[in-house]
Structure 1
Amino acid sequence: MTSRQTLSHWGTYDIVEGPKGVRLKSNALDPDPNPIGLHQLSPEVARTRVLRPAIRKSWLEQGPGARPDLRGREAFVEVSWDKAAELAGAELDRIRQAYGNKAIFGGSYGWASAGRFHHAQSQVHRFLNTIGGYVAHRDSYSLAAARVVLPHAVAPMAWLMNNHNTWDDLAAHCDLFLTLGGVPLKNAQISQAGVARHRVREGLRQMAGAGVECINVSPLRDNMETGAPVEWLPIRPGSDTAFLLALAHEIRAMGAHDRAFLDRYCTGWEKFEPYLTGAGDGQPKDADWAAPLCGIEAPTIRALARKMTGKRVMINIAWALQRAEHGEQPFWMVVTLAAMLGQIGLPGGGFGVGYGAENLMGSPHAELRGASLPQGINPVKEFIPVARIADMLLTPGAPFTYDGETYSYPDIRLVYWAGGNPYHHHQDLNRLERAWQKPDTIIVHEQAWTATARRADIVLPVSMAHEREDLGYATMEGVVMHTHKAAEPPGLAESDYAIFTRIARVMGVEEKFTENRSEAEWIESLYARMRKMWAREGVDLPDYAAFREAGVIDLQPHDPPEQRVMLSAFRADPEGAPLETPSGRIEIFSEAIHAMGLPDCFGHPTWMPPGEWAGEAAPDQFHLISDQPARKLHSQLDASPHSLAGKIHGREPAHLNDRDAARLGLAYGDLVEIHNARGRCLASAVPDAGVAPNVLRLSTGAWFDPCPETGLERHGNPNVLTQDRPASQLSQGCAAHSCLVRIVKATQASAPAPFTPPELA
């Protein structure tokens, strides 16, 4: 047998060729291998694939804009590649000439490939820039609120992610690890640049073995597992800012806040302190005030505040908390509370913004910038915050604010999507269905017949990551890898690059797009550029032929020997190594945000109750937690045997507190309908003592499967229930976790059919 490697978002796998054909197995580099990607070659996944270019029947017969109401409910006509490229190129030209490039929205979410050349987002942006530009999106569903507020408060999110204290540092120096939203191992199965060494499980066990006390403040108990006892404080969803304010109030009341640190390294404490004490508004933000909001008793809050004094404390916050109304506030407040303790920049102390959200946080490896496919310059200046796509399509010309500036939504006539599935990650899918009928034309590159592909007009079959060669540089994972092809693409599927080359040829810009380079030549050129860049950093890479032969280069010998401590340089010399904030210091009060005059984001961290949350729910309402799934990445590989094994009767499990389940007469596996004014879906009940009362957990990732007759979603997709409104006017991030639902036992329903391809002519 021979073995080669392929790199993916969920792991590194060996390609093993044997008597029974090709299979994947976990790579020996990985101490905690992830089973998700082992099933990429399964027949179940193969049956979902798009095999040939396909055009929606009405669009093909009647032209652009024909019967958009039939998107998702109409047959497709398979055509040749020449015909598909001709139709796509002609429609792009028509839109450009009639409306300009600002009528084209280029959608991509970046999770289609961990390889750097076949990165779908880079490919679609390069192509659209080649033909004159496009309307882009900013930020991500996972992090929009945090990405916008944290540069005002402390540092850009991308920098923070790559510079967290290492797990070794925490084990050696931390006394108390306090986390809001846990450190979910299921989320840490993945990283955007690919995973070589899953380290989070071992990092948590290291801390537990060293005697670090761990406290999980979360509606879910199982998102913090260390191999040792973890104290669980089941907080009411959406109330974390109130809880953090109460801790801050009690620490200040004890005189345990570090005034020297606040004076030297921070700005704005004197403006925040009156709000905290109540001198400004008459309401002290103490434990008695917070207890009825967050569902944690006042003595427990006070005891925790006392415990945090005199110890080295790391305060972590999960990304999920910013996917909510006012999602900026808990992140800003975590930084503020850590500043009050005065341990930012010290070993074992400070704050973390997502330990466990991806595998890379806590990595000991050095970050090295690699070479990527040049995308060119986009002359179109219009953009949208990523989660506002339905607003854009439904209300062209309407104003919106973003980070202190006012813009207006463009009038989109063509959506071009490559890499990503908006019918997975967007909220209020019934509203998106209405918005999706607005454009004249929707073109998608898709591997499988997802809900997005079914609702497109032109569907172009694209290969999966393991069906092509690529360059992977997961430097925070400590590897550079030549990823090999494990299998040929099925049917007529091609790479994004090959598809764009076809359309560029039709439009007369092939040479501009390709620069007369094949895929192999591009990959080699990217490696050559990276080799030169890294040589300046003292990292010597072999020539391309030797690299390709080796397959994997381990970067660990180039890593710094010391344990990384985030913001240690700033602490050591705040004048010589200032932050990128306007003041160069940690901004507890931001003059820039205050000057924006926003009604829902003030100049300092503030408690504002969400408009939809359990604190103001009716007795029969539950707060919905739509967290990341355990058996897939987002919705990828939902049809795989590994994902299917986690479903109950073919539907996603809905976890609720066991006492709530008994009150509703629900047993394990019972069919339930979950509903609110936005939509309805079916799921299978799971009584669970590890879920806080009046909370329902329905993870994302189930392929959207509405009944054609009733619209009832049959598979367990929570985004038919979540609200499509911004976190605030500062970030315009998504507010998925601010959602109330009701649950009733269902007696019968049509079987889910999410993986059945549409009718093909």
Structure 2
Amino acid sequence: MYSEKRLLYPMKRVDFDPNGERNPQNRGISGYERISWDKALDIVAGEIRRMKKDYGPGAIAMVTGAHHQWGNINYYLSAMLRFGNLIGFTRVEPSPISWEGWYWGAMHHYGNSLRLGTPSFYGTTEDCLQHAEVIVFWSSDPESTSGVYGGFEGTERRLWAKRLGIEFVHIDPYLTHSAQFLGGKWLPIKPGTDSALAIAIMHEWMISGSYDKEYVASKTTGFDEWRAYVLGEEDGTPKTPEWQEAETGVPAKDVRSLAQLWASKKTYLAAGGLGAGFGGACRTETGAQWARSVVMMMAMQGWGKPGINFGNLQIGAPQDLNFYFPGYAEGGISGDLNNTASAANNYCRMPHIITINPVKQSVPRQRLAEAIVEGHAEGYAWDGFSIEGQFAEYSYPRPGYSRIHMLYRYGSSSFGTTPGSNRLVEAYRHSSLEFIVNQSIWMENEAQFADIILPACTALERDDISEWANCGGYIQHAQSQLNHRVVTMQHKCIEPLGESKSDYQIFLDILTRLGYGGMFSEGGCSELAWCERMFNSTDLPKQTTWKKFLQKGYHVVPPPKDDDKPPVDMRWFAEGRPKDLPEPNPLPATYSIGFGDGLPTQSGKFEFVPSSLRRIEQIDPARPAVNRYINRASTVKQTFFPLQLVTNHPVYSFHTHADGKNSHISMIDEHRMEVGGYRYWVLRLSSRDAETRGLQRGNLVRVYNSQASVICAVDVSQLVKAGVARGNESCAELDMIETSIGLVDRGGCLNLLTPGGKMSSTADGIMPNTCWVEVEKWDSKLGKAA
């Protein structure tokens, strides 16, 4: 909160004149001067009017990072969306960048489209501790990522599992924090080849007959065709452990051992950060193949039977999920029934003015740079309402709409969290982008490209209301990461520093100038008044009063009774019963047999060969209905850039939150290492790769490819597989400096190096872990390679 990088006053870029020369080419170069709030708000309101008059409302685009300051009133899906709908704007659409391979791949086998292809977690914590004998952590490091806003309560559960004698296996290019902490067998794997390992394990199950034959016969389709591919009857190549060894680097003997262990004991699969979904192996060019493979593995072992499910004990604790309190994805005060989950519950409970964005044009976040620089973009947006929704192609600009000429940038940064973010530098400086306003808390990487900066305050300087870890529609019932549901009154701790204001107040001030202030605030509602309205829309009044809640500051929702145990995910399917999970919006139309009867696939069963992909595989051969292993790594890239860069979520910061900003986290050497008085982002290399390049711990290195160069401090580690360079994504710093080889970033934005392309022609997913780089020693004094 007290960082020297706080934005405390409205600022204008020194060479930006809204009535004269705008000099967009100098964004990120020229400095800023302090101006008054009146002048800043007049400029922003004036530009909104000008854009709508000169070009039409589609000329204004609004974009935000994936996460912002917590709270149901000031969150981007709440106040920002209400503001945007009232002025009209081109949506910069979010994409399922945490779900990737699950959304574009696994979903086609079994449905779960509203969860973007990932399983749910109902009842899995207790089921795992009671019945499981093995947990396989595959690209899953919960001790680093700690869920989503959830903290460390999952750590205690994993320690319980260890005390119970549950065995652990870890599959990852890095000996993760979870592997170091919990122990177990480590299988270091070449990134992007995970599906080959999965297929080889299934090969062993097939030839030994060690899979659930009754489950496969009665509850699945397409197994014979899948079997023919795996055993080599289709293409003459059996997918044996020896076959996969050449791809993955995992010894064949270890694959056979794992296959035998897995089949002989009840096994939970922790696939991805939360145990199903979220990052890692699903963020490669072959990520959809891997996610498809792991759900097929679970189907072969009787997915849903006691002790056989997805999870890593981070989420799925028993809670009273009938108690209603909205998560942030339910839209807060937005009044938006189309782009939030508000219509499901909260709008009905807290009637407020509906706000509708009349602009139907949108650009997916991954294509924003192309839309600005090239003036057009094509691709596939995400749609969670059906399996087939992802096949609808979009184009920008939409017929009859203007190109984007104004960008309203809100909240956290994208340079550190968007793959191929080097593209954004050119986009922000493009002459077609006439105005950029950034509403932010800190002067971090995105803010320095703005024409006008509006200083927002932190969550500690305003009132709000929320529930710990409750994401709402994004991850339904994600609060079950915690052992208790806790609703919090986010009391303002201090007045906003400097002249900073809450996001709600900034939006209200702009809209008041445009004549929409009364509609936005519904007659003058303060943030505290909105908090009370939201309190009254929940089940809190059944257990406490508004006055008591204000005085205490929080409320712990009582746990369910001991005999009120939640159903276990997929148990209903394994036992042939109707679906009994407490999920909202079950979408009856997606079921073929009957509502809640079977899976929402065409056959109603788990499909080893998905009907939906069968219909499009001729259009996109990289998405075959039979999940063939395709290694698409470019040998040309590997020749010039021999190291595969894997960017994981940071251990100590949450996305860009807490990084930089002079916080204590930046003082942790594992996060940022001090070299010559500057704290650099850390890159980890194996001893072999470091020795080849003459590197020792603490050396500065240039990490580079054809896209960009980033300066990091190197950590030589036995924990990294040779051939892999491992660093954190989500860097909040962008510090471009001029050197003898041109511009380099010393802030640590490794996403400047990652590819900005798609998984395949119709799968518009990110693949940052399919990234090839070279590393060389760097002499900061000379400003060039050593």
**Contact 1:675 / 1:742 at 8 angstroms: preserved in 2?**
yes
Corresponding residue of 1:558: 560
- Counterpart check, 1:71 vs 2:94: no
Q: How many residues align?
A: 691
Map residues 226-237 of structure 1 onto 2, 5 A cutoff: 227-237=181-191
The change in CA–CA distance for 1:391 and 1:285 in structure 2 (over 3 A counts) is farther
Match of 1:345 among 304, 308, 317: 304
Deviations 1:107-139 (A, max 9, x none): 123421221112123222111111234323032
In the aligned structure 1, how far is the partner of 2:89 from the partner of 2:642? 46
Match of 1:277 among 186, 208, 231: 231
Corresponding residue of 1:38: none
Aligned partner letter, 1:60:
D
Map residues 93-108 of structure 1 onto 2, 5 A cutoff: 93-108=49-64
**Contact 2:319 / 2:559 at 8 angstroms: preserved in 1?**
no
Corresponding residue of 1:384: 363
Match of 2:414 among 386, 410, 422: 422
The change in CA–CA distance for 1:599 and 1:199 in structure 2 (over 3 A counts) is same
Aligned partner letter, 1:579:
L
* Cα distance, 1:680 vs structure 2: 0.9
Match of 1:437 among 420, 429, 435: 429
The change in CA–CA distance for 1:429 and 1:227 in structure 2 (over 3 A counts) is closer
Corresponding residue of 1:527: 535
- Counterpart check, 1:111 vs 2:133: no
In the aligned structure 2, how far is the partner of 1:750 from the partner of 1:553? 58
* Cα distance, 1:749 vs structure 2: 4.2
**Contact 1:725 / 1:735 at 8 angstroms: preserved in 2?**
yes
The change in CA–CA distance for 1:568 and 1:292 in structure 2 (over 3 A counts) is same
The change in CA–CA distance for 1:61 and 1:587 in structure 2 (over 3 A counts) is same
Residue 712 of structure 1 aligns to a residue in which SS?
strand
**Contact 2:62 / 2:84 at 8 angstroms: preserved in 1?**
yes
Map residues 609-620 of structure 1 onto 2, 5 A cutoff: 609-612=631-634, 617-618=638-639
- Counterpart check, 1:714 vs 2:746: yes
Residue 17 of structure 2 aligns to a residue in which SS?
helix
Aligned partner letter, 2:627:
P
Map residues 472-551 of structure 1 onto 2, 5 A cutoff: 472-474=466-468, 475-476=479-480, 477=482, 478-516=485-523, 517-531=525-539, 540-551=542-553
Corresponding residue of 1:678: 707
Corresponding residue of 2:462: 468
- Counterpart check, 1:134 vs 2:90: yes
- Counterpart check, 1:330 vs 2:290: yes
**Contact 2:203 / 2:240 at 8 angstroms: preserved in 1?**
yes
In the aligned structure 2, how far is the partner of 1:205 from the partner of 1:231? 16
In the aligned structure 1, how far is the partner of 2:423 from the partner of 2:143? 32
Corresponding residue of 1:759: none
In the aligned structure 1, how far is the partner of 2:577 from the partner of 2:89? 41
- Counterpart check, 1:182 vs 2:185: no
Deviations 1:34-73 (A, max 9, x none): xxxxxxx4x4xx2001111112233335558x22211100
**Contact 2:367 / 2:377 at 8 angstroms: preserved in 1?**
no
Residue 422 of structure 1 aligns to a residue in which SS?
coil
- Counterpart check, 1:404 vs 2:391: yes
TM-score normalised per structure 1: 0.86
Residue 179 of structure 1 aligns to a residue in which SS?
strand
Aligned partner letter, 2:639:
A
Deviates more, 1:88-97 or 1:601-610: 601-610
Corresponding residue of 1:18: none
Corresponding residue of 1:22: none
In the aligned structure 2, how far is the partner of 1:178 from the partner of 1:96? 54
In the aligned structure 2, how far is the partner of 1:445 from the partner of 1:162? 35
Residue 505 of structure 1 aligns to a residue in which SS?
helix
Residue 680 of structure 2 aligns to a residue in which SS?
coil
* Cα distance, 1:161 vs structure 2: 6.3
In the aligned structure 1, how far is the partner of 2:465 from the partner of 2:175? 39
* Cα distance, 1:750 vs structure 2: 7.6
Deviations 1:671-713 (A, max 9, x none): 1111111111111111111111111111123311110453111
Corresponding residue of 1:626: 647
* Cα distance, 1:226 vs structure 2: 7.0
Match of 1:642 among 650, 665, 668: 665
Deviates more, 1:366-375 or 1:472-481: 366-375
Aligned partner letter, 2:530:
W
Aligned partner letter, 1:178:
V
Deviates more, 1:251-260 or 1:269-278: 269-278
Unpaired runs of 5+ residues, structure 2, are 273-278, 327-331, 337-354, 382-389, 398-402, 469-478, 580-595
Corresponding residue of 1:143: 99
Residue 16 of structure 2 aligns to a residue in which SS?
helix
In the aligned structure 1, how far is the partner of 2:228 from the partner of 2:362? 38
The change in CA–CA distance for 1:581 and 1:392 in structure 2 (over 3 A counts) is farther
In the aligned structure 1, how far is the partner of 2:317 from the partner of 2:498? 40
- Counterpart check, 1:242 vs 2:196: yes
Aligned Cα root-mean-square deviation (Å):
2.5
In the aligned structure 2, how far is the partner of 1:149 from the partner of 1:378? 31
Corresponding residue of 2:615: 595
* Cα distance, 1:457 vs structure 2: 1.5
- Counterpart check, 1:658 vs 2:687: yes
In the aligned structure 1, how far is the partner of 2:530 from the partner of 2:635? 50
Match of 2:131 among 173, 177, 199: 173
In the aligned structure 1, how far is the partner of 2:204 from the partner of 2:324? 43
**Contact 1:404 / 1:593 at 8 angstroms: preserved in 2?**
no
- Percent identity, aligned pairs only, is 25
In the aligned structure 2, how far is the partner of 1:161 from the partner of 1:250? 25
In the aligned structure 1, how far is the partner of 2:499 from the partner of 2:119? 39
Corresponding residue of 2:344: none
Match of 2:605 among 579, 585, 609: 585
* Cα distance, 1:619 vs structure 2: 8.6
- Counterpart check, 1:90 vs 2:90: no
TM-score normalised per structure 2: 0.83
- Counterpart check, 1:687 vs 2:716: yes
* Cα distance, 1:385 vs structure 2: 3.2
* Cα distance, 1:526 vs structure 2: 0.9
The change in CA–CA distance for 1:183 and 1:298 in structure 2 (over 3 A counts) is same
**Contact 2:735 / 2:747 at 8 angstroms: preserved in 1?**
yes
* Cα distance, 1:185 vs structure 2: 1.3
Aligned partner letter, 1:281:
D
- Counterpart check, 1:733 vs 2:768: no
Deviations 1:645-679 (A, max 9, x none): 23222111211112322232211101111111111
Corresponding residue of 2:582: none
Aligned partner letter, 2:404:
I
The change in CA–CA distance for 1:412 and 1:215 in structure 2 (over 3 A counts) is same
In the aligned structure 2, how far is the partner of 1:217 from the partner of 1:164? 25
**Contact 1:128 / 1:134 at 8 angstroms: preserved in 2?**
no
Residue 417 of structure 1 aligns to a residue in which SS?
strand
**Contact 1:106 / 1:124 at 8 angstroms: preserved in 2?**
no
Aligned partner letter, 1:388:
R
Residue 289 of structure 1 aligns to a residue in which SS?
helix
Corresponding residue of 1:16: none
**Contact 1:236 / 1:295 at 8 angstroms: preserved in 2?**
yes
* Cα distance, 1:545 vs structure 2: 1.5
Unpaired runs of 5+ residues, structure 1, are 1-40, 753-761
Match of 1:395 among 348, 368, 374: 374
The change in CA–CA distance for 1:104 and 1:745 in structure 2 (over 3 A counts) is same
Map residues 367-378 of structure 1 onto 2, 5 A cutoff: 367=321, 370-371=325-326, 372-373=332-333, 374-375=335-336, 376-378=355-357
Corresponding residue of 2:280: 320
